[in-house]
Amino acid sequence: MLSGNLFGLEIEDLVSFVASIGEKPFHGRQIYNWIYKQRIFDFAQMGNLSKNLRENLKQKASVCLPIIAKKERSGDGTIKLLLEMSDGQRIETVYIPDGDRHTACLSSQVGCALKCVYCATGKIGFKRNLSCGEIVAQLFCLESVVGKKMTNVVMMGMGEPLMNCEALFKAIRLMADPDGIGFSKRKISISTSGWLPGIKELINVNPRVKLALSLNATTDKFHAELMPIVARYPIRDLISVSAQYARISGYPLTVGYLLLAGKNDSEEDARRLVKLLNGRDAKVNLMEYNEIDAEVKPSTSKSVERFVEIVGNAGITVTMRTSKGESISGACGQLAAGYQEKFN
């Protein structure tokens, strides 16, 4: 029966565990409340549990978060944590402040299999998927360091979230449960590099959270150069299926587009992007490239301004997303969890 670390278990699993150790099942709901709503992980502090139950739990289970191996803070307030899992694998997770908005950027995998040329995580390769508990634990680790509850979650850290759908969807259920952590689903976003099977699974499950498609190219040829694994799926198919999820979830289609000098930032690229999104309820988030050891460079301010002008004049909502945490290698594409020595 279930035992060991209780963190990451849904309420039904906690009820089953409590029953399996000879206790009344309703205590599972109490423990669920203590862990996820109250953020209490020490059985001794769970005041509405009997002394005997607390002792029983202490002998047979625990509530453990990853070890915070390192903390880094940038001048803009961004905080990056290096977390060590129980098996010694390491991931990074990031807190991004923006006024009253406190965003947790969570990882879904140790490493990544997609090998996108602009991303440090892809250069370390794929190690393993994270469990539901390891995904949600990042949120609590960040809150413990920041001293504030997070208001938003973006699945935009290490790994491709939609290659880890089972754990991802379970984590979303935990985070969005009003009897637990209590996030509004409108405050949870999944960023995908374009893993089409995962987007289709998202449509089947429809967790009603936001989806952002990292497109970064307007031709299949350049898509294959930049994002070789997901480029097996044509750009038009990725947009079409992502737009289908956007419709059923009730949100606009959000397209992320990383601007790279001389690669995908021309006026022709801007016009092709407009054509690809024509007739769709879409918005575009332009992103600046955060440099790693790769043979691509960020666009010039002049190219960015012209790109924004062309897309905006076509009636598409377009924003230039401000990068934060670059000084601590905590910005998009820079997370590598201490494995940098493998590709420096």
Catalytic residue ranges: 92, 332
User: Are 306 and 264 in contact, with CB atoms under 8 Å apart?
Assistant: no
Tokens of 130: 């994270």
How far is Cα 171 from Cα 259, in angstroms, rounded to an integer? 31
* DSSP codes of every residue in 142-187: HHHHHSS--SEEEE-SSS-GGGSHHHHHHHHHHHH-TTTT---GGG
How far is Cα 256 from Cα 242, in angstroms, rounded to an integer? 12
In 10 A of CB 315, how many CB atoms? 10
How far is Cα 333 from Cα 92, in angstroms, rounded to an integer? 12
Tokens of 247: 């419709």
In 10 A of CB 243, how many CB atoms? 19
Q: Among all chains, which residue has been given the structure tokens 């044509």?
A: 234
Helix (H, G, I), strand (E, B) or coil at 270: helix
300: DSSP letter: P
How far is Cα 245 from Cα 256, in angstroms, rounded to an integer? 16
> Which among 135, 114, 132 has a CA at the least distance from the CA of 123?
114
User: Are 297 and 255 in contact, with CB atoms under 8 Å apart?
Assistant: no
